[in-house]
Structure 1
């Protein structure tokens, strides 16, 4: 008999789960109302395209639906077993994937980080928006240095993005993984872009890291306030 662990590694199982997850997210999107703040963000960001999209771990499941028609997008997804299912879901929803993950100890090669880093640089140079979670694995809500270096080396701006739904299930794990539920009000909040110059010093890189962390926290707080109708500009009814 196959063990549950071996079964979960089977390609057909991963693909099936990934497709089901993607269609579930599509159902959430279709049955929910979405509010974007600022409302003209696509026009504002137009001159910066392609951009780096930063999100927190566990808060990113609805991200494929922020892609506009005509925009090319790739997302960084880990090589872990769960990452395989996430990759299937992302690709099913029209977002190409780059496989690899960061390492807060800096040993990028252990998880395919070097290859993934250069793939992200290449994608940006080819006009793809690149989305990734900014916090390093197992250290929630702390921005790692990798995304800041990506901005420095690519010359592209980082846009902090938060998505929150009024109906949700929050898991009791390290990144507070949030399962968005159907028939929600979904708030998408985008903070001011963070820019890093090619000649940024180590202290300037750290300043950018702290700035991005604060921007992501602020966007997340506002997204949840709007979704929960606690913000002054939350839609009524």
Structure 2
């Protein structure tokens, strides 16, 4: 009975509650898209794209990137990942379950297959447990197997709540202005030495930090 209740809780009740919260809040956001023409041109040229985002800034993008269907995302096989997978699936994303610690090889193979059939890819670069702001190798592996460009994608809110979590997770307040900004594309060659791979990882990390800081500076500094 206890196991069935937990399954119901994580597979149905919490995901739908979370979905309602996401949708209701997202409907109030006043969203400005920066670099959208470049994003669309890249999709047209390459047939796909990899949206790379911080875990901290993922909330405003959940509903927005459902407009980029078909789109897939790799989510860990943890219990928390179960709820996240349900939420994004209800919104129209296709979750692929796996991470560096469990099911990663199979998940990469599925991501490669989906990318080849026209799916765009979303990826949380420092998830699911951080450390914050560190681009993990999984992002580059996805770029290598798919052949698609990594595009740093930053969301920033004028007014927000900041949770007391490992990454200081950000939730925009109702009716806040929100910016969704697309950076320059970064391609990752399929064959890289260990040193070259690390240099490319740091390049992506640096680009994301620069976009993150520059976008936040667009708001008046006394806003919270």
1:197 and 2:194 aligned: no
Q: Residue 44 and residue 66 in structure 1: after superposition, are their counterparts in 2 closer, same or farther (change >3 A)?
A: farther
Q: Deviations over 1:99-149 (max 9, x none)?
A: 1123xxxxx4xx221211211111111111111111253322111112112
Q: Give the TM-score normalised by the residue count of structure 2.
A: 0.87
Does residue 40 (structure 1) correspond to residue 37 (structure 2)? The answer is yes
**Does structure 2 retain, via aligned residues, the 8 Å contact 1:58–1:178?**
yes
Q: Secondary structure at the match of 2:152?
A: strand
Runs (4+) off by over 4 Å: none
| Structure 2: 5+ residue stretches without partners | none
**Offset, 1:159:** 0.8
SS of match in other structure, 1:21: helix
Matched, 1:180 2:177: no
Which structure 2 residues correspond to residues 82-161 of structure 1 after superposition, within 5 A? 82-102=80-100, 108=101, 111-135=102-126, 137-161=129-153
CA distance in 2, matches of 1:217, 1:84: 29
Aligned counterpart, 1:60: 58
CA change 1:68–1:203 in 2 (3 A) is: same
Partners in 2 of 1:27 and 1:211 — Cα distance? Answer: 36
Are the structure 2 counterparts of residues 36 and 173 from structure 1 closer, same or farther at C-alpha, using a change threshold of 3 Å? same
Does the alignment pair 1:26 with 2:17? no
Q: Any stretches of 5+ residues in structure 1 without a counterpart? A: 103-107, 231-237
Query: What SS does the corresponding residue of 2:189 show, helix, strand or coil?
Result: coil
Pairwise CA RMSD of aligned residues?
2.3
- Shift in Å, 1:229: 3.9
**Could you tell me how far apart the structure 2 residues matched to 1:64 and 1:159 are?**
16
The CA deviation string for residues 57-91 of structure 1, in whole angstroms up to 9 with x for no partner, is: 23212223333757310111122222111111111
Flag the 1:7–1:141 CA change in 2: closer, same or farther, 3 A. farther
When normalised by structure 1's length, the TM-score is 0.82
Contact 1:53 1:158 in 2 (8 A): yes
Aligned residues between the structures: 219
Report deviation, 1:195: 0.6
Distance 1:190 1:98 in 2: 23
